[in-house]
Amino acid sequence: MKNKIFTILLMGVFALFSTSSFAQTEESQTGAVPKSGNEVVKKVKKDKVEKKDEVRTIIKSNKKEINQDVDKKVKDIKKDGENTLSDGTNTVVKGAPKIDEEKTKLDKKIKEKKENSANDFGQETAKLARLKEMEKKKQLKVAVKNGNEKVVQAKDRIKVAKEKLSLEKKNMTEEAYNEKASKIEKAELYIKKLEDKLSSAGKVKQ
Amino acid sequence: MKKSIFIGILVALVALSCVDDSKKKAEEQKKLELQKEIEAIDSTVVELEKINEDILKSTEELDELLKDL
């Protein structure tokens, strides 16, 4: 029963389609002239729309073809790598890179560089700091050496100055003597201070 | 069989994550050590500069005093 109903329905649908197609063909074959102006305008518009649609479909199909062609070429390049490709008019020059491999290599390199730069930053800074420290130590060494020399010179000078002062004591006023003596004392104090600084610097230097 | 494969994959993933974590920790530790070293060196450099300047100043002052003698 159901099958019968289904077949009847199908036949009905076929019948409908066939009548509509017949009607269209008849109209197009006879070139039935529309009765009113509105109908003419409608027909022209319909034709225009149809033409546009046709153009669109052509462009679409062309685009599809072009895209397919490009995809195929890219695939071939990926596949063949360094081989030459030609499709009659166009040829791909030898040495075309294997895109995927190149990309992965590049990514790997970038990653490695990033990691190295992150690690190198600290090491480089530490290296620079060590160099600076060495330089400063050298400078200090020179300063300590000069200071020690200066201390020896100063001690000699003070010794001479003291001897001179003791000799000149009789010929000098008390005020002048005291002034000179205080100067010598001050110098001795400074020498002591400098010696302390030099010895502490020697400890730091090591 | 499927269960064992699944468990195996899970274990492998956990092991990988553990290894990665330990690597990261080691790197961080290294960075921290470097940072500390740099800071220590910097402070030493500052101290050295200060001592150097102090010595030079004292030497100059002593020179001035010796001129007067």
Q: What is the DSSP string of B8-39?
A: HHHHHHHHHHHHHHHHHHHHHHHHHHHHHHHH
Q: Looking at the structure, tell me whether residues A136 and A157 fall in a common domain.
A: yes
Q: Quick check: A69 pLDDT over 60?
A: yes
Is residue A72 included in any domain, yes or no? Answer: yes
Predicted confidence (pLDDT) per residue in A163-188, tens digit: 998 988 888 888 989 988 998 999 99
Contact assessment for residue A185 and residue A158, using Cβ atoms and an 8 Å cutoff: no
pLDDT, position A9: 58
- Same domain? A119 vs A190: yes
From the list B2, B67, B44, B3, the residue with the least C-alpha distance to A190 is: B67
Any idea what the Cα angle at residue A193 is, between residues A187 and B48, rounded to 5°? Answer: 135
pLDDT at A11: 60
User: In this structure, are A91 and A105 located in the same domain?
Assistant: no
Q: How confident is the model at residue A58 (pLDDT cuts 50, 70, 90)?
A: confident
Does the CB of B54 have a partner CB in chain A at under 8 Å? yes
Residues of A in contact with B67 (CB under 8 A): none
* A124 within a domain of the structure (yes/no): yes
Residue A21 lies in a domain: no
Report yes or no on A104 lying in a domain.
Answer: yes
Q: Is the residue at A27 inside a domain?
A: no
Q: Which residue has the higher pLDDT, A14 or A201?
A: A201
Q: How many domains does chain A have?
A: 2
Shared domain check, A53 and A112: no
Rounded to the nearest integer, the mean pLDDT of chain A is: 74
Shared domain for A81 and A108, answered yes or no, is no
Do A73 and A112 share a structural domain?
no
- Mean pLDDT in residue range A28-48: 63
Q: Kindly tell me if the per-residue pLDDT of A31 is higher than 50.
A: no
Residue numbers in B near A147 (CB within 8 A): 55, 58-59
For position A158, what pLDDT does the model report?
Answer: 92
ipTM value > 0.90: no
Quote the pLDDT of residue A98: 55
pLDDT number for residue A28: 44
- Torsion, CA A35, CA A38, CA A40, CA A43, rounded to 10: -120
User: Tens digit of pLDDT for each residue in A109-130?
Assistant: 777 777 666 666 678 888 888 9
Across the range A95-103, mean pLDDT stands at: 63
DSSP state for residue A86 in the 8-state scheme:
E
Domain boundary among A78, A96, A114: A96
Distance CA B5, CA B8 (A): 5
Angle at Cα A124 formed by Cα A119 and Cα A125, nearest 5°?
105
* Whether residues A153 and A167 fall in one domain: yes
> Do residues A90 and A124 both lie within one domain?
no
Q: In this complex, do B38 and A123 lie within 8 Å of one another by their Cβ atoms?
A: no
Last residue of a domain, one of A96, A126, A144: A96
Residues A91 and A146 in one domain: no
Would you state the pLDDT for residue A172? 85
Determine the pLDDT at residue A124: 84
Tell me: do A36 and A91 sit in the same domain: yes
Dump pLDDT digits (tens) for B39-53: 999 999 999 999 999
Asked if the structure places residue A76 within a domain, the reply is yes
Is A137 contained in some domain?
A: yes
Q: Is B38 in Cβ contact with A183 (below 8 Å)?
A: no
The per-residue pLDDT for range A126-155, each reduced to its tens digit, is 888 899 999 999 999 999 999 999 999 999
User: Which residues from chain A sit within 8 angstroms of residue B27, using beta carbons?
Assistant: 119
pLDDT of res. B8: 93
Looking at the predicted structure, is the pLDDT value of residue B31 above 70?
Answer: yes
pLDDT score, position A19: 47
For residue A73, what are the domain limits? 32-96
B33 vs A: CB within 8 A: no
pLDDT at residue A85, as a whole number? 56
Among the candidates A96, A120, A144, a domain finishes at: A96
Task: Name chain A contacts of B55, Cβ cutoff 8 Å.
Answer: 140, 143-144, 147, 194, 197-198, 201
Judgement on whether residues A108 and A187 belong to the same structural domain of the protein: yes
Q: Do B58 and A193 touch (CB under 8 A)?
A: yes
Rounded-to-integer distance, Cα A134 and Cα A58, Å: 78
Q: CB A157: neighbour CB atoms within 10 A? A: 19
Give domain status of residue A19, yes or no: no
**Do A185 and A120 share a structural domain?**
yes
